[in-house]
Structure 1
Amino acid sequence: MSKASFVYVNYIRTTPEKLWEALTDPEFNREYWMGATLETDWKKGSSWKLVFSDGRVADAGEILEIEPQKRIVLRWRNEFMPEFKADGYTRCTLEMERVDEMMKLTVLHEAEAEGPHKLIEEGVSRGWPRILSSLKTLLETGAALPGRKTAPGS
């Protein structure tokens, strides 16, 4: 049996500095994460959490690796959906690479254990394309995709 994983590659017309800001600045996050923000100090070994606008924690974990404008590796667990939380931790790697006048952003989100994994197969595979499309749209046009600005279930 293999580990469940999800890969998404996006090319964005932006600079390394602007992409890094979009990924790490809470006010920027709020625009393309549908009202949620990432809270951390962006240092290796630090905890992080994705917080809905109503204060509930969506996801949380630890920063395993960080290289500004190049790479972020997060240990990740869903905190608000019991069926996803039961799957335990995953590993999410964001790699940034300059390609001509664009940035290539690759997201690899993978289970730590082998076998079926609801978070990867159902949550991640639906969530990342929407979030990353909204990020691309925001950076290229100045406005994120339209969407819910309140937490699910509220």
Structure 2
Amino acid sequence: MTKEMTSFVYVTYILSTPEKVFEAITKPDVARCYWGHENVSDWKPGSKWEHVRANDERTVELVGKVIEVSPPTRLVITWANASQASDPASYSRVTFAIEEYDNMVRLTVTHDELEAGSGMAKGIKQGWPAVLSSLKSFLETGSGIDLFAKPKSA
């Protein structure tokens, strides 16, 4: 029996350039500023990448491989929890499509090959909007948002 798969797509418009958006995703020192993590790789097809918590512990939380890279317009990676790295079925795919729009960028993040109902599928539906909002804020204002903020009680 095959597993039911799902995908998640998020589109945002950022007052920036494709080069700065691509750099924000791929440069560890920039990603740290809005994500609280560093994306570490040499960004060559076939290379591994790691999503490392930007704190004293430097925990590797996510892992994957670089599938496709065309700076500054496209990046495709595989994505899995580090704890599931040895299970090929646990990997999903993330595509960053960066398109110039006059004086801004349309960033489309497509996270697919996700098992429907899985913890990863649920987590990214909350995670991507927060991370990409922080990316937008960081590139437009110089400050990311608090990714660990909680809703205020009524």
How many pairs does the alignment contain? 142
1:1-150 equivalences under 5 Å are 2-34=4-36, 36-52=37-53, 53=55, 54-80=57-83, 88-111=90-113, 115-120=116-121, 122-148=122-148
Query: Distance between the aligned counterparts of 1:94 and 1:147, measured in 2?
Result: 20
Task: Assess if the C-alpha contact under 8 Å between 2:131 and 2:147 holds in 1.
Answer: no
SS of the equivalent of 2:46 reads coil
Counterpart residue number, 1:152: none
Name the aligned partner's letter for residue 141 of structure 1: T
Change (3 A) 1:115 1:16: closer
Task: Assess if the C-alpha contact under 8 Å between 2:35 and 2:147 holds in 1.
Answer: no
Change (3 A) 1:63 1:86: closer
Give how far 1:117 is off.
Answer: 2.7
| Unaligned 5+ runs, structure 2 | 149-154
**Structure 2 length as normaliser, TM-score?**
0.84
How much identity, in percent, do the aligned residues show?
A: 40
Change (3 A) 1:3 1:66: same
**Structure 1 length as normaliser, TM-score?**
0.84
Task: Assess if the C-alpha contact under 8 Å between 1:39 and 1:51 holds in 2.
Answer: yes
Q: Provide, for residues 23-54 of structure 1, a one-character-per-residue CA deviation record: whole Å limited to 9, x for no partner.
A: 111110001112x1111001111000001122
SS of the equivalent of 2:90 reads coil
Task: Assess if the C-alpha contact under 8 Å between 1:111 and 1:117 holds in 2.
Answer: no
CA RMSD of aligned residues (A): 2.0
Q: Between the two structures, name the one with larger relative contact order (CA 8 Å, sep ≥ 6).
A: 1
Query: Distance between the aligned counterparts of 1:115 and 1:15, measured in 2?
Result: 34
